[in-house]
Structures are given as C-alpha cells and as structure tokens.
Structure 1
C-alpha cells in the first residue's frame, strides 16, 4: 500500500529527526499531501524541509505549515524552495504571524515562472494594507495562483490594491476568500469595479464583513451589468430589503449560472486547510 497523505501535527522533533524525515521524503514518490500543522520547527528544520522541496525527486503536491510560528529565516528558505519546485500546487500558511516583511519575501518566490503554486492559504496571518501591495503586485505578474484565501486579515484599506490586480487580464484567480476582513461599504466600490472587469473569478467569499445595504447594492449593481464568470458570491446580510431582493433577482436574470449565498452571523466557513484532504 502506498502512502499518499501524512499528518504529523504538533511535532517538536530535534534537528536530527527533521533531517531523517527530510531524507525519507526525498526517496518517497507516493506521498502527495503533507500536513505539519502546529509543528515546532527550528529554523534548521525548515531549512532541511525546504532542501527536500528543492530536490528534483520530491513529489509533494500539497503542504500545510499552519500555525508553525514561521520566522523570517523560515520564509526565506520557503521562498527559495518555491522558485525551483514545479510540483507543489497547494500551500497553507494559515495562523502564522507573517506581517509585511515575510509576505514580501514569499511573494518574491511565487513571482518566478518556475513556481506552479495554485492555492495559497493565508488566513489569518496579520496581513494589512502594505502586505496587500505585494500580493497585488504578484497577481499582476502572470502568477499561477488560482485560489487565494486571505480570510480574517485586516485588509480593508488594502482592498483597493487587490481590486486593481483583479482588473488585470492576466490575473488568473478563480477563488478569493475575504471572510471577516473588516471590509466596509466604502471599500465595495473598488471591488465592484474589479468585478466588472475581471475575466476569471468564479467564487468570491465576503462572509462576515459588515458591508451594509449600500455596499451590497454597489456589488449587485456591478454584477447586474455583466454576465461574467462569477458563479458564487457569499455575503453577510442580516436583513434583506426590498431593494436588495430586487437586485438579487436582476442579477440572477442577467447571470443565470451565479448563486448568491446570503449568510448570517451564525454561518461558519469551512476549514482553511480542507484542500489537504
């Protein structure tokens, strides 16, 4: 029987044990998904893991380093590995305090054409307006990313940068998760403009943002104008007015394939690492 999925959460092994594990990964060609959530990595341990990712016989496709307290040195090693690895398509770094500097480092690695990463989970990673600038720049550089989860990051004032990226014809994002990102009605105008121009986005999750009636109406008015690729839009609507109900009907008529999910405060979202199963 070949092992395809391995979860080793909450490991606190020594550097030598990580070295042995990394060596084993290099010769295993069946393992495709590795979940190291909440593991305690010494910087040297991450260096060894990234050395494996750079190795031409590493066949890992999905990796989770959620809540692993990644340092700047760790992010540099990971960024370097992403430049040369052409098999890794899914990476979860949720619950790491990345901030601006580490996001910049990671985006530099993702910007190389050799990087084939498609799904990038960054919820929550303390990413703010300035971090959004680097992510936006990445998305405008023919990135391979198709799924980006930024849930629970305080990026409301950085939404303008992400919206600019979504407008670009070379932006290939199909899923954007902005659940609980403190997005306000004021920010919705930038996002609405992006929805009119975008040619690829299929799912937009805006759950648990207080968009208000004005913000929701701006978004729906934009979607009513264009029969685009969007198939799923998630919105928090505690109360749905007649105006919103009419717009929802109009959007459905102009975009028959689109589904609008109006969620309430009790609605939960799926785990940010479901892609590893």
Structure 2
C-alpha cells in the first residue's frame, strides 16, 4: 500500500502520535492524507519527528486541522532534515504570520519540497514577506504555491511579486480571495513580464477593477507561458472586459479564462464576443453570473456563428438568460455545426421548456450535420 487516507477520522493528537510511531519504521507509504482529523500542535509535532526519519513519504496532507504556530514550527524543523517530502498541504489551519515565518526558515535548509499549500492560514502581509524570503533562499525548485485566502494586501503582493520575478521553477500560483487590489495587481503584472515559468495564475476575488485588469493584460502581451488566468469575483466591469477583449484579439497564449462574477454585463459580453472571432487560443471561457441576459447571450451567439476551432467549453450559468437568449444560442449552433464548442453550460438561467427544446434541437442538428459530434448542453 502506497497511499494511506485517514481523512475525516477525528482521532486527534493521540491518534497522530500512534500513527507517527508506526510510520517511523514503515517505508512503503508515499502519500499520507490526514485532512480533517482534529490534529493539533502535539500531533503535528509527532508527525514532524516521524518525517525526520521516514524516507518514503513524498506527500503529506494536514488540511483543515487545528495546527497553530508551534505545530508549524515543528514541521518546519522537519523540513531542515527531510529530503524526500515533495508536497506539504496545510490548508485551513491557524499558522498565521508566525507559522509562515517558521516555514520560511525551514525552507532555507530544504532541497526537496516542490508544492506548498497554505490556503486559509491568515498569514497576512508579514507572513507573505517572510515566506517569500524563505522561498528565495530555498535550494530546491518549488513548482506550486497556494497562498489563497490569507489576508494578503498590496504590501504582501509586492513581496510575492519579488519572488515571482526571481523564480525559475514556479508553475502554479494561487492568490485567490486575498485583497491585493489594483495596486497589488500592478506589482504582480510587473513580475509577470520577467517570469518565464508560471503557467497558471489565480488572482480571483482580489478587489481588482478595470485598472488592475489593464496592468495584467499588458503583462500578458509580454508573458508567453501563462495559459490559465483566473480573474473571477473581481469587479472588473464592462471596461475591464473590453481591456481583456482587446488583448485577446491578437496577443497571448491564454487557453483557460475564468471571469465569473465580474460584473461585465451584456456590454462586456459583446466586447469578448468580438475578440473570440479573432482569438485562436482560448478553449475554456467561464462567464458565470455576469448579468449577461438575452443581449449578452445574443452577442456570444454571434461569435459562435463564426467558425472557431479552439473554444470548446463556454459557461454561461447564472446569467438571467431567458427564452430569447436561448433561441439566439440555439440558432448560432445550428448555423455553425462546425464550431469547436462541445460543452455549453446554461444552468440556473430563466428560460422555459421552449428554450430547452430549441437548444436540444440545435444539439441534435449539430450531431446530424457533423458526423455524430455531440455538444453537451446543461440547463
């Protein structure tokens, strides 16, 4: 057995101690999952001591437990000795700035860690500063960094940006649900111009407006590696959508673009629709909950009427689309059965059975006209 998953069992610190004793001499387990097991600092300390001796575990998951600074300090100490651990998951604990600082010191002596998951630990700006300092001294090659939902503001974003400028290994960065704002977006954008490793960037839920969207879009014109951009839950509005649309027409390598809950409205959909007629990279577009209505659906329908060989997945859920909008999308699919789209999500909209019938007929028409090609439409 290589994977041991005990998640959801509330055995607490005592159970963690017993497990640590067993695993200290067991060199078969490679992935250890202990999420939501009520482990606190004492349990974390026991597991840390085990990691100093165990040479087989490459992934340990301790998400959603009750580990605070002392537990983080123990695990950080283990990092200075352990040379096999590749992924450390501590999402949903209570590390705070001090916990981040402890991990930073452990990282300075570590060569093996590749993934660090610290989502929801309230590390704040100071924690971001110390953690980035540790990462810049890290002798290994971290590829994945999750610091979402950590009370990081513009000042913290500056420290993250400094790391992004220098790293040559980071591929996936999650800053979701912080509060970096337009100022923080500007700092991250400046770093992206000098980064050649990052492929996925999540800055959703960061109070970024059209101004911040402009900074990111300009950076994307120079960055050639990012293929997934998450901007959901930012109030970019129609102006932000226009900025993105202008960029997408002729620049970048974005394949997945997520803009759910961005307040772009029908006008924003119109801007994006026009750009999709020129863009040759976006394959997945998420526009959920943007108040597109029938006019927005009609605008996107116009882009679907043009042969697009890349857009395969379009998510228009929660957009107040009624029968008129459903008819527009159905007619677009019928008019262009060669379109690449294979998934169209229209869940939680306002159209009736009439709209559903029209879309189902369009789906059948595409299948008949295009050698059995199936378009999955979700109501």
How far is the alpha carbon of 1:149 from its aligned partner? 0.8
Partner residue of 2:315 out of 213, 216, 234: 234
Matched, 1:10 2:109: no
Q: CA deviation at 1:109?
A: 0.9
With structure 1 as the length reference, what TM-score do the two structures score? Answer: 0.86
1:260 to 335, 344, 362: 344
| Structure 1: unaligned runs, 5 residues or longer | 267-277
The Cα shift of 1:48 comes to 2.6
User: Does structure 1 residue 83 correspond to structure 2 residue 165?
Assistant: yes
8 Å CA contact 2:124–2:153 kept in 1: the answer is no
Aligned length, in residue pairs? 262
1:70 alignment partner in structure 2 = 152
2:288 maps to 1:204: no
Partners of 1:13 and 1:255 in 2: CA distance: 49
- In the alignment, the residues of structure 1 paired with residue 111 and residue 322 of structure 2 have an alpha-carbon distance, to the nearest angstrom, of 52
CA shift, 1:19, in A, is 4.2
Runs of 5+ in structure 2 lacking a partner?
1-55, 60-85, 351-379
Tell me the C-alpha RMSD between the 2 structures: 2.2
Over residues 120-152 of structure 1, what are the superposed CA-to-partner deviations in whole Å (9 max), with x where a residue is unaligned? Answer: 112211111111110111111134211111111
**SS at the partner of 2:140?**
coil
- 3-state SS in 2 of match to 1:208: coil
Inter-CA distance 163–52: structure 2 relative to 1 (3 Å threshold): same
| Residue 25 of structure 1, aligned match among 107, 117, 121 | 107
In 2, the alpha carbon distance for the partners of 1:216 and 1:180 equals: 16
Aligned to 1:270: none
The structure showing larger relative contact order (alpha-carbon pairs under 8 Å, at least 6 residues apart) is: 1
Asked if 1:250 corresponds to 2:332, the answer is no
The two structures have a TM-score, normalised by structure 2, of 0.64
Partner of 2:302: 221
Based on CA coordinates, which of the two structures has the bigger radius of gyration?
2
Shift of 1:160: 0.7
Contact 1:83–1:115 (Cα < 8 Å) also in 2: no
Secondary structure class of the residue paired with 1:233? strand
Q: Distance in 2 between matches of 1:76 and 1:256?
A: 40
| Paired residue secondary structure (1:189) | helix
Which range is displaced more, 99-108 or 135-144?
A: 135-144
Q: SS of the counterpart of 2:346?
A: strand
Report if aligned partners of 1:140, 1:168 keep a CA contact under 8 Å in 2. Answer: no
Which residue of structure 1 aligns with residue 255 of structure 2?
174
Partner Cα separation in structure 2 for residue 139 and residue 174 of structure 1: 12
Q: Cα–Cα, structure 1 residues 10 and 133, in superposed 2: closer, same or farther, change >3 Å?
A: same
